């Protein structure tokens, strides 16, 4: 080809550019009498060669990491870099392929999956807090529900469930969870023998659904892949780049987002989730009286007649100063009990650093303190009088005799 181009009057420089080689190489092919032959270079030995059999053998038995294998061959005398080991291990693992997974599908109304996810850290009232994302996905229809919160307490977890049930219009027969403390305190080999979170146990018993627990570790995470993928979808498709003014504003935008994505054909089923939701046949949610979330906490009432909750101070009647208070929190209401008696209640204030003072809680305290102060003052006066030294009285003539006044006269 180079010779024909040269015979047609093409310059050597043009031939070199066309063929992608140097002018020297082009001349070699144009004027050469024999085909150009190159000697095969001898393969350069690698510092890793003496250890490759060991690495292959170990990877055949266990899926060890490159770091672990690097440490092992270092003990055997390897002096090369970790990068060399990592690249060799990568070629072996890629050649092995990927273990096939079986996609587990559930029928209508059978199962939903739930999980938390941390999506960001935000400033609230000058304090940096984690922003959590609660996600529930119906297994059959793939209908998704999401809600953002500033904490992951069990009462918040339950409230998110109630909101999701209301959105779906019902409850599945079972819900799949990982081993979060919101659900289970101690995981047993048999799920039914596990120690459930008492507040959550009361909740799932009330609605009659069965909590299912994933196996620990990565294998367990694969069993709830629907909600795992949904959390990633929420982070990347909804939250990333979204502007909002407050958590309420964020959840309003999340509601609009759910309406949009649940009407689009799903990537797996090819059918919009809200269309398949009609086939779910969920257990009715609104036939029972709404579940009342009551959380119990304990606080010590200070001598100033206040207790602290979520960074704010709340007053109690002054006669309970120094007592142990039982707080029963239901939604935003805080009921305060002392020795089983409801002594007062407050409405929870958002934010922190606030003092909620009810003037009636201090009625009579000032009068009592003034009375005590008066009694202490009178007691101090009595002590002063009783401890004063007694002075004997003598006639003045005795002092005159003592000073010698009579003799001078």
Asked whether the predicted pLDDT for residue 71 surpasses 70, the reply is: yes
Domain with 261 in it: what CATH number?
A: 3.30.420.10
| Higher per-residue pLDDT: 297 or 148 | 148
152 and 279, same domain (yes or no): yes
pLDDT per position as a tens digit, 191-208: 667 899 988 999 999 999
Position 190 confidence tier, pLDDT thresholds 50, 70, 90: low
234 and 355, same domain (yes or no): no
Position 406 confidence tier, pLDDT thresholds 50, 70, 90: low
Q: Give counts: helices (H), strands (E), the chain.
A: 15, 16
In this prediction, residue 391 carries a pLDDT of 62
Q: What's the DSSP call for residue 237?
A: I
- Mean pLDDT, the chain, rounded, equals 86
In this prediction, residue 381 carries a pLDDT of 74
Among 135, 149, 143, which Cα is nearest to 169's?
143
259 and 309, same domain (yes or no): no
Among 200, 167, 201, which Cα is nearest to 286's?
167
- Cβ burial of 187 (10 Å; 0-12, 13-18, 19+) is middle
pLDDT per position as a tens digit, 143-174: 999 999 999 989 899 999 999 999 999 999 99
Per the structure, the complete domain to which residue 243 belongs is given by 111-284
Q: 39 in a domain, yes or no?
A: no
Joined together, the tokens standing for residue 347 give 């409405």
Q: Are strands 184-186 and 195-196 parallel, antiparallel or unpaired?
A: antiparallel
| Higher per-residue pLDDT: 34 or 302 | 302
Asked whether the predicted pLDDT for residue 409 surpasses 50, the reply is: no
Q: Where are the alpha helices (DSSP H) in 169-299?
A: 198-207, 217-222, 225-233, 247-261, 273-277
261 and 131, same domain (yes or no): yes
Q: 43 in a domain, yes or no?
A: no
Residue range 339-352: mean pLDDT, rounded: 89
Q: 42 in a domain, yes or no?
A: no
Asked whether the predicted pLDDT for residue 112 surpasses 90, the reply is: yes
Residues 6+ apart with CB under 8 A from 113: 136, 137, 139, 175, 176, 177, 224, 226, 227
Q: 36 in a domain, yes or no?
A: no
403 and 303, same domain (yes or no): yes
In this prediction, residue 183 carries a pLDDT of 92
| Higher per-residue pLDDT: 319 or 40 | 319
Can you tell me the distance from the alpha carbon of 241 to that of 72, in angstroms, rounded to the nearest whole number? Answer: 45
In this prediction, residue 390 carries a pLDDT of 62
In this prediction, residue 20 carries a pLDDT of 84
Q: What percent of the chain has pLDDT over 90?
A: 47
Residues 6+ apart with CB under 8 A from 67: 82
Among 274, 215, 219, 223, which Cα is nearest to 105's?
223
75 and 183, same domain (yes or no): no
Asked which of 284, 314, 343 is the last residue of a domain, the reply is 284
Among 210, 189, 214, which Cα is nearest to 201's?
210
Can you tell me the distance from the alpha carbon of 155 to that of 330, in angstroms, rounded to the nearest whole number? Answer: 9
133 and 272, same domain (yes or no): yes
Question: In the chain, how many domains are there?
Answer: 4
What residues form DSSP beta bridges with 345? 335
Q: 369 in a domain, yes or no?
A: yes
At residue 283, φ and ψ (nearest 5 deg) are -65, 135
């Amino acid at each position: 080809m180079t010779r024909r181009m040269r015979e047609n009057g093409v310059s050597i420089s043009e031939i070199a550019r066309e063929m992608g080689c140097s002018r020297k190489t082009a001349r070699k092919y144009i004027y050469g009498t024999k085909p150009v032959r190159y000697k095969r270079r001898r393969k350069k030995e690698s510092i890793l060669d003496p250890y490759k059999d060991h690495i292959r053998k170990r990877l055949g038995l266990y899926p060890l990491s490159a770091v672990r294998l690097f440490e092992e061959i270092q003990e055997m005398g390897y002096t090369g870099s970790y990068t060399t080991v990592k690249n060799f291990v990568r070629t072996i693992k890629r050649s092995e392929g990927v273990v096939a997974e079986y996609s587990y599908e559930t029928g209508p109304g059978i199962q939903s999956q739930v999980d938390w996810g941390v999506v960001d850290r935000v400033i609230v009232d000058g304090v940096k807090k984690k922003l959590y994302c609660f996600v529930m996905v119906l297994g059959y229809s793939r209908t998704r529900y999401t809600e953002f919160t500033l904490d992951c307490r069990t009462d918040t977890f339950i409230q998110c469930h109630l909101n999701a049930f209301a959105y779906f219009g019902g409850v599945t027969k079972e819900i799949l969870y990982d081993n979060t403390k919101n659900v289970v305190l101690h995981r047993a080999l048999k799920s039914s023998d596990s120690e459930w979170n008492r507040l959550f146990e009361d909740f799932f018993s009330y609605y009659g659904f069965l909590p299912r627990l994933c196996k620990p570790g990565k294998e367990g995470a694969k069993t709830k892949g629907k909600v795992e993928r949904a959390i990633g979808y929420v982070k990347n498709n909804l939250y990333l780049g979204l502007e909002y003014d407050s958590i309420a504003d964020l959840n309003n935008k999340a509601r609009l987002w759910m309406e949009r994505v649940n009407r689009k054909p799903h990537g797996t089923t090819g059918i919009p989730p809200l269309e398949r939701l009609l086939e779910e046949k969920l257990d009715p949610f609104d036939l029972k009286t709404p579940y009342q979330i009551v959380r119990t906490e304990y606080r010590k009432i200070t001598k100033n007649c206040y207790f602290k909750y979520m960074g704010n101070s709340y007053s109690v009647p002054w006669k309970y100063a120094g007592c142990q208070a039982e707080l029963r929190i239901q939604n935003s209401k805080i009921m305060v009990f002392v020795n089983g008696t409801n002594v007062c209640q407050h409405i929870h204030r958002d934010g922190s650093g606030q003092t909620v003072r009810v003037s009636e809680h201090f009625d009579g305290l000032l009068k009592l303190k003034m009375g005590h102060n008066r009694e202490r003052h009178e007691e101090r006066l009595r002590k002063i009088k009783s401890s004063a030294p007694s002075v004997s009285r003598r006639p003045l003539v005795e002092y005159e005799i003592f000073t010698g006044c009579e003799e001078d006269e």
